[in-house]
Chain A
Amino acid sequence: MDYIIETNDISKKYGDFTAVDSVNLKVPRNSVYGVLGPNGAGKTTLISMLCTILHPSSGSAKVNGYDVMKNSKEVRKSIGVVFQSRALDDILTGREHLEMHAALYGVPTELRKQRINDVLDLIALGDKADEFTKTYSGGMKRRLEIGRGLVHHPKVLFLDEPTLGLDPQTRENIWEYIQDLNKKEDITVLMSTHYMEEADKLCDEIAIIDRGQIIKADSPRNLKRELKADIITMKVDDQDKFIKEAENLDFIKNIVTVNSEIKMMVERGENLVATLVNFANKNNITVNSIELEHPNLEDVFINYTGKRISEGVR
C-alpha cells in the first residue's frame, strides 16, 4: 500500500498535558481520510504538526515522502492547508488572495493566470472574485480558502473542520465539492471533523481520535460492521405469531416490539432481509413493510470511547 502520510509515534506535550499521544497514522494516497473526534481531542494539533507549523515533542512524520521537521520546506510545497479559523485578509479581494498564494508557492508566472481562473471557476465565486473578502458570506470564504489551498496543485490537502459553523446547505455543497475534487485531481484529502455525518459521507477511511490517541482506524463501513448490530424493523399482520416463530431463528440476537413494529438486532442485516420475508411467507404471515438500519458512526464512537462525541473531552 502506498501511504502519502505516515506518522511514527508522533506526540505533542504542553507541560503535563499531552495533546497528541504517540499517534501512528497511515493515510493511503488519493484517499479522503478523516480524523474524527470530539472538540479538544487533538485533531488540530495533529494537523498543525503535519503541516509543519507546530513542532512535535517526540516522534516523526512524513508527508509526501518528506520529514515534517527536516524537510519542512518540501512538505510545505506539497500541501495545501485550510485552517479551522479563517485565514483571510478582509481588505484583499478573492482574486488577490489567490495571486498572493500562487506567488508565495512559486507557481510559474506564465501558469498563474490560468490556474487562478481554473480555481475561480471551481469555487464559483462569480463577480465576487474581485470584491474585498469582508463582503463574502461564510460559505464563500470557506470556498475561497479551499480554492486557495489548491492553486499550487498540492499532493495533500489538509482541511481542519472544513464545515464548522456553516449552514446545512453550504455544508452539503462543500461535501460535494470535496468529493468531486478527490475524484478529478490527483490529491489526497486529510480532514478533521467532529460531525459524524460528514465523516461517514466523505471519508474512505477514518481514524477515531480521543484524548490525543487514535482508538481505531478503518473504513466507515467496516467500523460500523464491527458493531454487529444492524436493526431490521418489520410490520406484519400477525405480530404474535411471527415473534413466536422467529424466536427459533438463531441469527436474531434480540427481538423487541416497539409500538406495532418488530425490531430485531442482527449481524449483516442486508443478507437477512430476503430470508425474513421468505420465512414470514412460509408461515403464512403477510409482511406489510421491512426496513434495514445500519448503526451510525455515533454508535461506533460510543462503543469505543464510552461517550457521545458531542460530550467532548472531559
Chain B
Amino acid sequence: MAEWEGIYTIWFREAKRYVRYRSRIVSSVVTPLLWLLIFGTGLGSALRFSTVPGGYQAFIFPGIIGQTILFTAIFSGVSVIMDRQYGFLKEIMVAPVSRPSIVFGKALGIATASIIQGVILLLLSFVVGVQMTPIIFIACFLLMIPISVGLAGVGLLIAIFTDSMEGFNLIMSFIVLPMFLLSGALFPVTGLPSFLQAAVYLDPLTYGVDALREVILGTGALPLYLSTSVVVIFALVTITLSAVLFSKREQNLM
C-alpha cells in the first residue's frame, strides 16, 4: 500500500512539473503544428500521394503524434539527470520507497505528459483534414499509453547511464533523431531498400506509428494486433529494464 502511495506521489510531482512549465507545453504543441503545416504542406504539394485521402499531410499526422510523444518522453526522462544535478533525487532516494516504485512513478508521470501532448494533437486533427470519431479517439488514446510508457522507459534508461546534461546532444543525434526518422513517420515503410527496411523494423517507434496510422487512416503496413503487441511488449521490457538497472546502479546515481 505504501508503495502505491510512493508511485502516486512521484507521478503527481511529475505531472505538476509538466503543467507548470507552460513554455514547454506551448512549444511542444507548436513544433508538431509546424511540421504538419509547413513540412506537410510543402512536401505534400511536390508529391503525388494518392494512397491516403487528405494526402501527405494526413499521412504524416500519426507520425507527428508519434514524434511528439517521443520527444516529450525522452526529454522528461532526462529530467532525472536534472533532479540529480539539483540534488532533488537524493530526497527521493532516501525516502522509504522501493527503487522500482520510483521508476514506475516517474515513468507514469512522463507518460502522462506525453499522452496529454498526444491528445492535444488528436484534437487538432481537423487542421490537416483528418476525420476524428469518438471511437478513433479512444483507440488512439489507448494506444498512446503503451507507446508513452515504452518511450518513457527509454528516457529513464538514458538518464540512468548519463552523468550530465552535456551528453544531451549525443542523445539527440544518436537516439532521438534516428528513432524519429526511421519510424516511418514521414514516409511509407513499404518498398524501401532492404538495409533501410531492416533498420525501420528495428525501431520500436515504427510499430507505434503504424498502429496509430492503421487506427486513424486505416492504412497501416502491419496488422493492428501485431503492431500493438510489439508496442506493449516494448513498454514492458523498457520499464522492467529501467526498474532493474535503476536499483542496480543507485550507488552511481548519487
Contact = CB atoms under 8 A, between A and B. Distances in A.
> Does B associate with A?
yes
B52 interface: no
Interface string B236-254: 0000000000000011001
Given A53-B254, A103-B8, A106-B2, A83 B87 contact: yes
A24 interface: no
A103 B97 CA distance: 10
B211 to A, nearest CB: 34
Contact of B86 (A73, A89, A105): A89
A83 B90 contact: yes
A92 interface: yes
Chain B interface size band reads: 20 to 34
Contacts of A169: none
B35 to A, nearest CB: 28
Interface in A77-112: 77, 79, 81, 83, 85-92, 96, 100-101, 103-106
Contact of B95 (A48, A76, A86): A76
A188 interface: no
A146 interface: no
B5 A106 contact: yes
Interface in B1-44: 2, 5-6, 8-10, 12-13, 16-17, 20-21
A51 interface: yes
A100 B97 CA distance: 12
A54 interface: yes
Interface of B: 2, 5-6, 8-10, 12-13, 16-17, 20-21, 83, 86-88, 90-98, 250-251, 254
Given A54-B254, A76-B96, A87-B91, 14 more contacts: A51-B94, A53-B90, A53-B250, A76-B95, A83-B87, A87-B90, A88-B91, A89-B17, A89-B86, A91-B20, A91-B21, A101-B95, A103-B6, A105-B96
9 contacts: A53-B250, A53-B254, A73-B96, A74-B96, A83-B91, A86-B86, A96-B16, A104-B96, A105-B95
